[in-house]
Chains A and B, each alone.
Chain A
Amino acid sequence: MVREALLKVLEARPEEPVSFLADYFERLVLGSPGAAGEAAAELPGPPQRLARALWYVRLAHHSHRTAFDSNAGAAYEVLGASGRRRKAGVDGRLYSELLRRICQHGGAPAEAAAALLGRVRCRDHEAVPFDVFRYGVLTCFVLLEFAAKADALFGVLDSGSGAADGRVCQAVLRALEDALGTGNFSLPGRYLEAGSKLGPDGLALAMDQALQERKLGTSMSRDEFLKKATALFVAKVKPVE
């Protein structure tokens, strides 16, 4: 038990290890009353499984690839464990529900989350292989981070006033879309090209041109900006087939 707890600490790398450990042991005790000695308690119903799986996948940031992958594996095991009445395996219903909960707690707009789920979802009856599961979970987390970044970008664009100039927003979004769209070269070439297009000089020029083109534009709200930005992201997600 202690070994697994330490392994969790190593995976999650929390900022406060001691409180993380305390939380872990408390959750362990609460999760299986009377069986505190067992490492992996058998959870009876789907809601508890979902909560546990959700906890697992939230432990590590998606950029810590190995930690994230092993956590996703643990979550997959938990979700797919066989119970008294159901056979083992993760079906589309559980998978979709997990993804929905992940997206719910983030700052992504509902339409973007729905669109993303539409791309990576599996039908309820389908069996979800681990690779698809990991891909779906990773995509959700990346969407959440993307939405957070778009939010921060809007904070810069509006300079704290709450509503940014529509022309400037459109220009920036168009530059991003342009950099995403071109993909003729190999990977290093694409990075260089994106770096040159999205550098401060290029963006300043684009924004300046947008301001000069039209005299007075409508302002864009935060929600609208987030929707447009996340739509760009979701368009690049490859659907599961």
Chain B
Amino acid sequence: MPVRVAVPVRGGGLPVRGLRPPVPQVQEIVFRNFYTAFLSVRVQRPGPSGSRRWVTCLRDYCLMPCPHTEEGSQDYFSLRRHQMLCDVDQVTAVRFILRQPSPVWLHFTIEELQIFPPGQKSPQKDFPSWLSQLTPPEQPASLHGELPDPEKVSTEVQQMWVLTEVIRARQAAARIGRFDVSPAILLVGAPASPHFWRSPPGGGCSRRDGVGVWGGLSRQSDGAAQGPTVALFQVDGCYDINLLSYT
């Protein structure tokens, strides 16, 4: 369960950040550095006699090999249990002590702090059921005689499957540009040389509010058009134009 903290610090020095994690056990601490050179981590644990005491579990962990330079200054770091000096179970508080001795960087902090308890596994993808059925448990008894040859059947069926998949994957990228009429006109792409033809009167023209439109074609002269089609509309003079707008 991640824990987020955002505490800005400034000045070269020794900022301390405290956390009260909701989980008592710590498996991993993940954070993103921002120009902090050294990190110390102390955890508060219940002592033998019931009192709580602070224990250093990480001492001067080097985040930036050279504090004056950029190396490691914005890296992501991950601290695991086994890297820590002490046992990090039953933790009631965590303290991060950041050190940046260089005067070059005025502000330094750590960001995106996340603490993970143990027991979290990476999410498993769904295991496909067909993978577990690769070897059939038993061979059918009456395999021969009544049944047609499975090899031949399988060959044909698989070829049929491939043909269907080929078609299913393809789709006409271009659109006819069917419109059920609105006064807006759409112009897409750059026509090489537009050609138009008339539609038969009364058929193929949708009319609404006295405006009729029909589709024209821009013919790509190279014959292998891959780009967007052009839907260019032109209004015949015999209709009353109420509204004409370009989108």
Contacts and interface: CB of A to CB of B under 8 A. Distances in A.
Interface residues of B, number: 60
Contacts, number: 187
Interface string A45-68: 000000000000000000000000
Given A153-B157, A205-B136, A211-B142, A131 B174 contact: yes
> Chain A binding site: helix, strand, loop or mixed by DSSP?
helix
B163 interface: yes
**Among the interface residues A90, A187, A237, which one has the most CB atoms of the partner chain B within 10 A?**
A237
Interface stretch (B23-31, B54-62, B69-77, B212-220): B212-220
A131 B164 contact: no
A168 B148 contact: yes
B219 A70 contact: no
Nearest to A237: B167
Contact of B161 (A168, A185, A198): A198
B196 interface: yes
Given A89-B219, A126-B215, A145 B156 contact: no
A131 B172 contact: yes
Contact of A132 (B150, B164, B172, B224): B172
A88 B216 CA distance: 11
Given A190-B165, A208-B142, A159 B219 contact: no
Contacts of A168: 147-148
A241 B151 contact: no
A214 to B, nearest CB: 13
Interface residues of A, number: 79
Contacts of A82: 195
A124 B197 CA distance: 12
Given A124-B204, A196-B130, 18 more contacts: A87-B197, A88-B195, A89-B219, A122-B176, A125-B204, A131-B226, A132-B174, A142-B167, A146-B160, A153-B153, A153-B157, A175-B157, A176-B157, A194-B165, A198-B158, A208-B147, A211-B147, A241-B176
